[in-house]
Amino acid sequence: MKYVVAFIVTLLILVTLTYFVLQTWDIELFEAQYLTKTYTTIGLLAVGAFLLTAVIALFFGGNRNKYDKNAPGVAQKRL
């Protein structure tokens, strides 16, 4: 998960730098409002993914009590 987030952040930084470099040379491939909309969209998707992960962890994360912690080696299911 951290690699996906790092990739997205790196991509956003590169797009922003590309925008400013092109603006330095008076080349406009896209406008600044599209960058803002892109950042807003990615932010909303990140918040939604975080909330979805949190909800799934809260509803389905209670499997720890079903295993015998005293068993040697690989975790054994309680009978």
Q: What is the Cα–Cα distance from 15 to 3, expressed in whole angstroms?
A: 18
Q: What is the pTM of this model?
A: 0.61
Strands 67-68 and 76-77: antiparallel
Which of the two residues, 13 and 73, has the higher pLDDT score? 13
pLDDT of the residue at 13: 93
Tens of pLDDT, residue by residue over 27-69, are: 988 888 998 998 999 999 999 999 998 888 888 876 666 666 6
Give the 3-state secondary structure of the chain.
Answer: CHHHHHHHHHHHHHHHHHHHHHHHCCCCCCCHHHHHHHHHHHHHHHHHHHHHHHHHHHHHCCHHHHEECCCCCCCEECC
